[in-house]
Amino acid sequence: MKTFFNILQKHANCSIIKYHDNNDNKPFVFKDIENVFNQKDKQLDSKQFIISCYIDNIISKIYKRFGYVITGTTKILYYIPPFQKIRMYYNIFTKNNNTDYLFLDQYVDDILTIFSKAQRTYYAFSRLAHIYRLKKYKTVVTNDLLMTPLDKNHKNTFILIQNKSKYLFNLNDIVKIVETAITNAPNFFQEPNKAKNPYNNENLNYSTLYNIYFKLKTSGRIMSIIFHLYFLSNFNLDKFVLNNEAYLRDITIQKYIHNATPSVLYKSIATMLNSNFYSKKLAIHVNFPKDF
């Protein structure tokens, strides 16, 4: 995220590039902006100054609310969810935070233009970095989970990059890994887990999950309903379970019926019938077939 902040401030022509890692860097108070400007050099362009202060304030607010750890007297940025920067801009432009931002109406178009340019520049660099990783990183896994060799150029081959290494997966395998993790339900109670790379046991991050989803979209394969619901929940496990509890419960029951042996199912059904006040009066013949 520091890279994006750097690019954003460059596009805003900020005279000083700041990251707010240190506690001494306090957020700028917008309601005092005119007083501050009156104390500045009269040759400074007021519009540029106001926009620069706006950008500085946004960055400081993001640091304050999200993604840092405190080490001694220093705030060290480690992760900010990408959607938070969008949310912060939206809240300000729709005046959801406070009335100090009302004066920004005349600068909205300019600020959005700067933000859009920063986004394009940032994603261009991200794409360039991804191309570099694909070319330079070593491929450590070239077979699918059934030890069948994979062609990295095939439309159903997914390339996972972790720890400066490339792992090839059959698209069906990586989707199944994710779905198995997020539909985990011991004793039919939903306890989803984060999907992991089976070769190094590391979690699949948000960008990887999004890449898998859009790879599914372009592969011609029928979209997995579970994975699509996970995508609609922004890959948030708590929201995913909350929004789809009934469907996930049905899926869990179907998986249990499909995977359990006939003898196990027979015992489970017999236990269920015997535990009910009305059905326990039923007598099941000993020769009733267990296999069906």
Does 98 or 205 have the greater pLDDT score? 205
Domain ranges for the chain, please list them.
Answer: 2-132, 171-252, 262-292
Q: pLDDT exceeding 70 applies to what percent of the chain? A: 71
Over 60: is that where the pLDDT of 33 sits? no
Burial class (CB in 10 A: 0-12, 13-18, 19+), 182: buried
For the entire predicted model, the pTM comes to 0.70
- The DSSP call for residue 149 is B
How far apart are the C-alpha atoms of 47 and 24, rounded to whole Å? 26
Confidence of residue 181 (pLDDT cuts 50, 70, 90): very high
Pairing relationship of beta strands 68-71 and 74-77 according to DSSP bridges:
antiparallel
How far apart are the C-alpha atoms of 164 and 157, rounded to whole Å? 19
User: 33: how many CB neighbours lie within 10 A of its CB?
Assistant: 19
How far apart are the C-alpha atoms of 31 and 100, rounded to whole Å? 5
What is the reported pLDDT for 118? 87
**What is the average per-residue pLDDT within 195-223?**
91
Over 80: is that where the pLDDT of 48 sits? no
> What count of Cα atoms within 13 Å lies in the side-chain half-sphere of residue 103?
12
**Contacts of residue 168, Cβ cutoff 8 Å, sequence gap at least 6:** 139, 141, 142, 143, 144, 150, 152, 157, 158, 159, 160
Q: What pLDDT digit, counting tens, does each position of 117-166 carry?
A: 888 998 899 889 888 988 999 999 999 988 999 998 899 999 999 999 99
Amino acid type, 197: N
Chain centroid offset of residue 142 CA: 26
End-to-end CA distance of the chain: 57
Burial class (CB in 10 A: 0-12, 13-18, 19+), 105: exposed
Please give the radius of gyration of the chain, using alpha carbons only, rounded to the nearest integer: 27
How far apart are the C-alpha atoms of 117 and 103, rounded to whole Å? 23
Token pair recorded at residue 81: 């969810």
**What is the average per-residue pLDDT within 260-282?**
85
Chain centroid offset of residue 214 CA: 13
The answer to whether 166 and 142 have CB atoms below 8 angstroms apart is: no
Chain centroid offset of residue 268 CA: 39
